[in-house]
Amino acid sequence: MAVVPRWQQRPCRTRDRLCFLAGDFVQLPVPIIQQLYHWDCGLACSRMVLRYLGHLDDSEFEGALQELRLTRSIWTIDLAYLMRHFGVRHRFCTQTLGVDKGYKNQSFYRKHFDTEETRVNELFAQAQACKVLVEKCSVSIQDIQAHLAQGHVAIVLVNSGVLHCELCSSPAKYCCFAPRGHRCFCRTPDYQGHFIVLRGYSRATGSIFYNNPAFADRMCSTSVSNFEEARTSYGTDEDILFVYLDS
């Protein structure tokens, strides 16, 4: 992995941590927290982000889940409301302001679609009044890199069947997208939604660095082209939740 000379680095204070940022190389000290079940990757990502920002208190987090009624079906809009609950500045970018009815027949969404459609659409409808910032827009990789270069982080919805970690896949001993004890679904051809936390990039190697909540002990890395394919796959709505340090 490329190392940036200290004279090219820019210090960045993140609460009690000191990281270094450079225009061509960013690696933020985002803690890794493993998901507990096959369905709570978004909640694990939220815990990582809140801990990075210095906002995480386990009892408060559990209380927030109860207050927001977050159960086994977690959508990106839920994570945006969770950030708002903790007073964290955020910006949720998506291609669909609500539920895409075309997902009803997809195996990933089918089980909860009928019961979740109304709930999720109501969250979108109430977002402005609840001070949850949602925008219908496309985001470029340059936008994402500029965000990370300021020490900020992002939670991204990807198709786990497309995303391939270059650090985990050789040798192919682990499934990057299923916690221990759960079926490995990374090779299925169908869409499988999965949340990850972006924590940096290297322009020299064309890499994106991220935390995969399926793991508790490693940072993952993939090519920009693979990341773009995974985050723009049909089923993701290109959902990305930008989170800011200056909350």
Q: What are the sequence ranges of the domains in the chain?
A: 27-175+189-243
Q: What pLDDT score does 185 carry?
A: 43
**Which residue type does 76 have?**
T
Q: What pLDDT score does 190 carry?
A: 75
Q: pLDDT by residue for the chain (247 residues), tens digit each?
A: 443 333 244 445 544 444 556 579 999 999 999 998 888 999 999 999 999 999 888 889 999 999 998 888 899 999 999 999 999 999 999 999 888 665 556 655 555 666 778 889 999 999 999 999 999 999 999 999 999 999 999 999 999 989 999 988 543 333 444 444 343 444 455 778 899 999 999 999 999 999 999 988 899 999 999 999 999 998 899 999 999 998 6
Q: What pLDDT score does 169 carry?
A: 56
Q: What pLDDT score does 128 carry?
A: 96
Q: What pLDDT score does 184 carry?
A: 40
Q: What pLDDT score does 235 carry?
A: 87
pTM exceeds 0.75, yes or no: yes
- SS3 state at 134: strand
Answer for the pair 45, 195: CB distance below 8 angstroms, yes or no: yes
Q: What pLDDT score does 19 carry?
A: 56
Q: What pLDDT score does 171 carry?
A: 37
What is the topology classification, in CATH, of domain 27-175+189-243? Cathepsin B; Chain A (3.90.70)
CA-to-CA separations, 155 to 95, 180, 207, in angstroms, rounded? 16, 22, 17
Distance CA 30, CA 203 (A): 20
